[in-house]
Amino acid sequence: MKFLCTRCDEVMKLAGAQASEDTVGLTFSCPKCGGSFAMLTNPSETSLVKGLGVQVGGRSEPAPLMEVIQASVERDAEGQIAWDQGAETRLGNVPPFARPMARKAIERFAASKGIRVITPAVMDEARALM
């Protein structure tokens, strides 16, 4: 995209960029009259552009390794959620090959509810909703 100052017919220059978690704010200014505006991208467009692996405003350094993957993949909550003894014992009833996935599913449920410690009651609650 290119931006023209409607007063001066001058190409506006990128003056600054600010990124939040899912949107970007770009400031453009007219080199002639100094007029400026901010373009605020919506989350869907921002996600689409990020997904392509290109950087708005250009790139002066080579892209970091696995940039899109590292930026896009949802982070694991491992280590942030504790399991009490009763919950661990109950998880032991799940066959070993399925245990990591069951653990992850319960942790996701707990994270979505802001629960920090998983107990058998939390497991019941999760199971009821699954």
Partner 1 sequence: MRMYHDVAGDGGSDIIGQVGKMMERLAGRLSTIKSVIAVASPKGGVGKSTVAAHLAASLARRGARVGALDTDLYGSSLPRLLAPEFAGANAVRGDDGLIPIAGAHGVRVMSLDYLTGYGARASVAWAGATSSITRGPVETSALRELLADTQWGELDYLIVDTPPSVGRLGDVTALIPSLAGVALVTTPTQLSYQVTLKSIERVRALGVPLLGLIENMRGFMCAQCGAPNPVNVEADMGETLSLMGVPPLGALPYDQRLLKPAGEAGPIEAVERIADNLLARIGEHASARA
| Residue 28 and residue 37 in contact, taking contact as beta carbons nearer than 8 Å | yes
Q: Is 90 in the site for partner 1 (CB under 8 A)?
A: no
Q: Is 130 in the site for partner 1 (CB under 8 A)?
A: no
- Give least dist CB 113 to partner 1, A: 17
Contact pattern from residue 7 through residue 36 relative to partner 1, giving x for each residue in contact according to CB under 8 A and a dash for the rest = --x-x-xx------xx--------------
| Residue 105 and residue 130 in contact, taking contact as beta carbons nearer than 8 Å | yes
DSSP state of 60: S
Burial of 6: CB neighbours in 10 Å, binned 0-12, 13-18, 19+: exposed
By CB under 8 A, name the one of 34, 78, 93, 130 that touches partner 1: 78
Q: Is 58 in the site for partner 1 (CB under 8 A)?
A: yes
Burial of 28: CB neighbours in 10 Å, binned 0-12, 13-18, 19+: buried
The encoded tokens of residue 60 equal: 């002066």
Considering beta carbons, is residue 63 or 117 the nearer one to partner 1? Answer: 63
Q: Which residues are registered as beta bridge partners of 11?
A: 4
- Give least dist CB 8 to partner 1, A: 11
Footprint on this chain of partner 1 (rule: CB under 8 A): 1-4, 6, 9, 11, 13-14, 21-22, 43-44, 46-48, 50-59, 62-63, 65-70, 72-76, 78, 100-101, 103-105, 108
